[in-house]
Structure 1
Amino acid sequence: MKENTTCNWYALYTKSRAEKKVAEELNKLGITNYLPIKRELRQWSDRKKWVEVPAISSYIFIHIPLDRYRDVFQVNGIVAYVSYKGKAVTIPDHEMQAMKQTIENKIAFNVEATNIKKGEEVMITSGPLKGIKGIVQNVQGTKKLYLNISNIGYTLVVDLDDASLEKA
């Protein structure tokens, strides 16, 4: 076994509307990936239809060891790693877990936000997102919590019902 087998999460830019195809191709190569999907009601001229679309357009997330870094470019549709100063940025496991649980649970949450302030680190203590930590980016009334996914410049906006928060 190689010494450098630690896997990290990375974000990849994809060509527009190529996210699902890229995910399929990564699966064929045996590369662990996560494509956050959401359901949207789309309006056509003659009907409405629920469709599944990427939650973040032109992004897919991969979990690989450093020695497989270049393997992803075998897949048509991948543009580049999300990088900073020429180096692919890693995404902490807890941020990926927060995103996965937020998207996969599809449940609205509520919290009393009286003691929670912008910039504080918090942890959800009950509900489907129990154990998730994040930095409060904004508090809007008592219904929305903005959790920063720091290395890709996105923020998850979570509607909170029946969950509790505590300062971490």
Structure 2
Amino acid sequence: MSVTASITLSYKWYPVYTHPRAEKKAYQALTDKGIKAYLPLHRQLKQWSDRKKWVEEPFIRSYLFVNINESEQAEVLMTKGITRFIYFSGKITSMPDRQIEDLKLLMASPYELEITEDNLQAGEKIMIKAGPLKGMIGEIIAYQSQKKLILRLDNLGCSIIVNVAANIIDRF
């Protein structure tokens, strides 16, 4: 008599590291395989000697995010352009769904964003109460002598800084 264990396939967001400047190609290769992926892009004005042009650049260089279950990890690693998963304490790290949703919300917002690898000090927790970032939770920091909101991506070791008006935030 055999006992069959039911396996629950839980999907999580995992950050993956790509080859330098291969984020878009790796993203396309993953989606061609049917793997749900997210590549945060932002518009940037590039200057060449003869012209200027708006281009979409990866917001976090050499990173993208995949929404997979553990059994699909090998398939991700066999994708052209993908180097490795990100590890924390010896285990492949995953990211909370909320952080990915907040990142998507930030990328769709009209606010000027800045990414930094500085280890900024934790401050007062706040929630945005109005505008396109309504409901986002973050911290207030003093950064370059201005008050700004920070969304800390702990598992990546970086933070996203965005300017928001003081009248649209509440203490959390």
Q: Distance in 2 between matches of 1:162 and 1:120?
A: 13
Q: CA RMSD in A?
A: 2.1
Matches within 5 A, 1:76-87: 76-87=80-91
TM-score if structure 2 supplies the norm length? Answer: 0.83
Q: Distance in 1 between matches of 2:112 and 2:129?
A: 15
Task: Quote the residue 1:16 is aligned against.
Answer: 20
Which has the higher Rg, Structure 1 or Structure 2?
Answer: 2
Residue 56 (1) aligns with residue 60 (2) = yes
Residue 159 (1) aligns with residue 151 (2) = no
- Secondary structure of the structure 1 residue equivalent to 2:106: helix
Deviation at 1:135, TM superposition (A): 3.7
Deviation at 1:163, TM superposition (A): 6.2
Gaps of 5+ in 1: 110-116
Gaps of 5+ in 2: 1-5, 114-120
Task: Quote the residue 2:95 is aligned against.
Answer: 91
Task: Quote the residue 1:150 is aligned against.
Answer: 154
Task: Quote the residue 2:131 is aligned against.
Answer: 127
Amino acid at match of 2:155: N
TM-score if structure 1 supplies the norm length? Answer: 0.85
Task: Quote the residue 1:139 is aligned against.
Answer: 142
Q: State the Cα deviation string for residues 20-39 of structure 1 (Å, max 9, x = none).
A: 01111110111111100011
Q: Distance in 2 between matches of 1:37 and 1:82?
A: 20
Deviation at 1:50, TM superposition (A): 1.0
